[in-house]
Amino acid sequence: MAYDLVVGRGSKVKDASDIVGGIEFAELPAISRLLKRIDSSLLQRISNLFEDQAFSVSEIELALLQFFPLLTLDLHPDERAFLQKLISVLSYAKWKQLGLYGIAD
């Protein structure tokens, strides 16, 4: 994976974090198309696969509020697949009430 998505108290192994997903370089076109549809800080930040990122529970909740309405749009198949994966990762983090960390490989 080019970019690991980790849920936990921190991004380190000692923090007992869960790797719940990842982003591949091949998904960048789908991310770019989604960014044309919505102004999302979270989406902009994870589109840079070379920089680690940290997202709080409140940032996760805001992103979910932004992403859920996109599910009703006529999306390109790769946009829909990426959106569904991202919503799954964010939902897991919200359920656990823990931060989300994007870790560049």
CATH number at residue 84: 3.40.1760
Number of domains in the chain: 1
Residue 15 pLDDT: 66
Angle value at C-alpha 29, between 75 and 54, nearest 5 degrees: 100
Residue 84 pLDDT: 98
Residue 17 pLDDT: 83
Domain that holds residue 54: 3-104
Average pLDDT for residues 43-62, to the nearest whole number?
95
Answer with the residue of higher pLDDT: 51 or 14.
51
Angle value at C-alpha 84, between 18 and 34, nearest 5 degrees: 115
What residues form DSSP beta bridges with 105?
Answer: none
Average pLDDT for residues 56-83, to the nearest whole number?
97
Residue 105 pLDDT: 79
Average pLDDT for residues 43-55, to the nearest whole number?
94
What percent of the chain is modeled with pLDDT above 70? Answer: 93
Of the candidates 101, 105, 97, which has an alpha carbon nearest to the alpha carbon of residue 17? 101
**Mean pLDDT score of the chain:** 93
For residue 13, what pLDDT band results from cuts at 50, 70 and 90? low
